[in-house]
Structure 1
Amino acid sequence: MSSRTLTLNVAEGALHASSNSSPRLSPDEQKNALMCEKFLREVLAYKFVGPDYPHVTEVMGTATIGGKPAIVMRWHMNGNVEQYTSLNRGTAVDLIMSVVEAVKYFHTKYPRLVHGDLRPSNIVVGNDGRVLISSLASAHVPGSAKLTAKKINGLHRWMAPELIVIDEDDNSQPPASTFESDMWALTCTTSQFITGKVPYEFRRYSLQVVPSIAKGVIPYHKASFVNAAEEGGVMWGEELWQILEPCWEMDPTCRLTITGLQASLRRMFDIA
């Protein structure tokens, strides 16, 4: 057994052990426990998909850094998409099609996988220019007992409205991410490629984002989206908006699927 396999197996065992105990913890202990659970879930997810799963960052092993558990990933000089697009705005179309292809693999190949936390900082640009998705802590296979859904706090700017708990008195289990919520987050991500601006950029503080989502405000304004696209060299700003906007429907069942989105983008970009 390789050292990499051993560390993944040890972490999987630790996850099962931690899920069977619920001691009363202080706030600091709760924070550390959540961080540890996120680490363990991510290790389990990478073990579940296996080393040959395409479109994800390669895991080299695990380590303890500063007394905290960490997953060691293969390093890519291009960094994550957020860093890459700030220096290479002209690559937006290629990156969009690459990340759509990656998410299509997640959503359509057996076992169908929900990522649960899609955003630019969780997407790496490989040395060949194609994207690789990382941070699988929120990933799950709907209906599977091996990789179950678990609410791991994401960032509201990229989060679908149905995942956000508005009622602070509601102590029920938060809703799990879905293929439809992935589509919302993916569209926020691709829009950030195009505009260079985070979702809800017109809301300066993150605390202002949740009330906007509750009121049905979508992450981008059409005029600023189209203008930013043209300034960034993307000549189909208006057409892109028409394709992407349905992915921000408040009713998740009305959003495009990943296959529908890819087909529409291919037609617009005239990709065979």
Structure 2
Amino acid sequence: MNVAGNNQPKKSNLFSPRQSPVANSPQKQGKATARRGFCQGLKDCMSMGPAISTSQNQSHSTSKLERQVADLEREVLKQRELRIMYRKRMERTHDYLKYCLQVAQDNGFLNLIIKNKDDNDRQDCSFPSTMDNTNTSPQLSSSLQQHYDLAALICQAKMNGWYIDHREIELQEKIGQGSTAEIYKTVWRGLDVAVKCIFPNFFETNESGESFFAQELDTLSRQRHRFVLQLMGACLDPPDHAWVVTEFLDMTLKEWLHGPGNSRLKERLVPLPPFEERIAKALEIAQAMQYLHEQKPKLIHRDLKPSNIFLDDANHVRVADFGHARFLSDEEMALTGETGTFVYMAPEVIRCEPYNEKCDVYSFGIILNEIMTGNHPYIETDFGPSKIAMEVAEGHLRPTLPEDNGQLGEIINLICLSWDQDASVRPSFATITSTLKKIHRRIIESNEIDYCI
């Protein structure tokens, strides 16, 4: 039967599932929804877990690859800088050799050199020659010809009382090591001494090892100055007992200025020493170097740096390490390639050009600036040693100067003159000593006035 106004048949509930009123209640529906949401969320988490883990692994791999790429880029840049530096060095060496040949030709002895070479070549041949081989080539300078004789040095050491039998020394505490030697602290005849023990393989791998060893000892044995390291004696029996015995000093200028350790840090590990003490140290270094340069023949150090300058118990300076030192007459210029440490090395030495004692003045200028600022040279840059050397050689780079507070103008001027690109502009150590003495005297007088007030 149809109800008027309703054309749709009424559905029968005979086969419809019976629903509980509780099941249809809002509270029950909410709980069901919550259960479905929880399960669905758990499934999502389970499915997302591997995805997140994969993403993290990919991110980690990406960052690792980025670091590797960055390392490779830095290495490529370093190699490119080295290649440029060596190419420029070869070009300069080539130009200098051309200059030497031109000088030889202008002075009329190039033909003599060629003739002497031809004569030697003929002697090497198996054909008999009636030509008399006369050595007409120019003689080398005395400094290049000089060969240090170990046997003669042993006689000199015994005569002057500084020859030491190695059985007198019992090596104790190892306090340092370099590329060619180890250094020990020990007691010799009741006195604390430092013993530098040259590695035996140094003599086995270097034909001139004995000569270099004798040269360093001969140089050190001649020094008699308050601010130069004192030689106590030596064991002259290489390769096993090539030992240099000096006074024992346990602090370097580098450690005094920057604190212990070898790391180059921007942050200071120790307080900067008082200004008067720093000027005093610079003055003592200059006095030691003036003494070396005013010898006859003059002695150039060639490796002046804070780690080669020691302090005694009273904090007075000792200039040390004469392994690279050479005697040089007033008429000579040294041409021995780069010698020293890049950071403190003069531009002309980096460029393998002839140089004289003014290379030590340049090194002192870098040290004086380091003493005044309390900062490692070039610490404000990210350059490596090769890049620093290249920029210094071209005259484009020097360490940051100290700020002038109204009292440092004279010192800043002295620093700039000492590290000038033109070696002839750099002052002598006599001038440097005189200038620093005046500055030190003014500081002392100023402190006395302040104390009286």
TM-score, reference length from structure 1: 0.70
In 1: Cα distance, 2:163 partner to 2:314 partner:
27
Q: Confirm or deny that 1:85 pairs with 2:257.
A: yes
Tell me the equivalent position of 2:220: 46
Residue 344 of structure 2 corresponds to 158
On the 8 A contact 1:138/1:151 being kept in 2, the answer is no
How far apart are residue 72 of structure 1 and its match? 2.9
Q: Residue 255 and residue 208 in structure 1: after superposition, are their counterparts in 2 closer, same or farther (change >3 A)?
A: same
Give ranges in structure 1 of 5+ residues lacking alignment.
8-27, 166-173
Structure 1 residues 239 and 151: CA distance shift in structure 2, 3 A: same
Corresponding residue for residue 412 of structure 2 = 241
Closer, same or farther: CA 109–3 of 1 in aligned 2, 3 Å: closer
1:184, distance to aligned residue in structure 2 (A): 0.2
Which protein is bigger by CA-based radius of gyration? 2
Question: Among 307, 317, 322, which residue is 1:121 paired with?
Answer: 307
Which is further off, 199-208 or 178-187? 199-208
Structure 1 residues 199 and 176, CA, compared in 2 at 3 Å: closer, same or farther? farther
- 1:261 aligned onto 2:445: no
Query: Could you say what secondary structure the match of 2:318 adopts?
Result: strand
Question: CA, structure 1 residues 244+205, in 2 after alignment: closer, same or farther (shift >3 Å)?
Answer: same
8 Å Cα contact 1:116-1:182 kept in structure 2: yes
Residue in 2 aligned with 1:185?
Answer: 363
Distance 1:252 1:262 in 2: 18
Residue 373 of structure 2 corresponds to residue 206 of structure 1: no
User: What CA distance in whole angstroms lies between the structure 1 residues aligned with 2:420 and 2:207?
Assistant: 31
CA distance in 1, matches of 2:205, 2:349: 23
Q: Percent identity?
A: 17
* Post-superposition CA distance 1:2-32 (Å, at most 9, x none): 773368xxxxxxxxxxxxxxxxxxxx98994
How high is the TM-score relative to the length of structure 2?
0.44
CA–CA separation in structure 2 for the residues paired with 1:34 and 1:185 = 30
Query: How far has the Cα of 1:73 moved from its partner?
Result: 2.3
Aligned counterpart, 2:104: none
Alignment partners' CA distance in 2, 1:176 and 1:4 = 35
Residues 92 and 35 (structure 1 numbering): CA distance in 2 closer, same or farther, change over 3 Å? farther
Q: CA deviation at 1:161?
A: 0.3
SS of 1:141's partner is strand
In the alignment, the residues of structure 1 paired with residue 419 and residue 207 of structure 2 have an alpha-carbon distance, to the nearest angstrom, of 30
The alignment covers a number of residue pairs equal to 230
Relative contact order higher in (CA < 8 Å, ≥ 6 apart): 1
Q: CA deviation at 1:150?
A: 5.4
1:1-272 paired onto structure 2 within 5 Å: 1=158, 4-5=162-163, 32-33=205-206, 36=209, 38-47=212-221, 49-50=222-223, 52-62=224-234, 69-77=242-250, 79-86=251-258, 87=270, 89-90=273-274, 91-143=277-329, 153-165=339-351, 174-175=352-353, 177-201=355-379, 202-222=381-401, 225-226=402-403, 236-270=407-441
1:40–1:239 Cα change, 3 Å: same
The verdict on how the C-alpha distance between 1:66 and 1:40 changes in structure 2, with shifts beyond 3 A counting, is closer
CA distance in 2, matches of 1:197, 1:250: 22
CA distance in 2 between counterparts of 1:264 and 1:256 reads 10
What letter matches 2:292 in structure 1?
Answer: F
Give 1:239 shift: 3.2
Could you list the per-position Cα deviations for residues 179-211 of structure 1 after superposition, in whole angstroms to 9, with x for gaps in the alignment? 211100111112222222232322442121112
Write the distance in 2 (CA, Å) between the matches of 1:215 and 1:156. 14
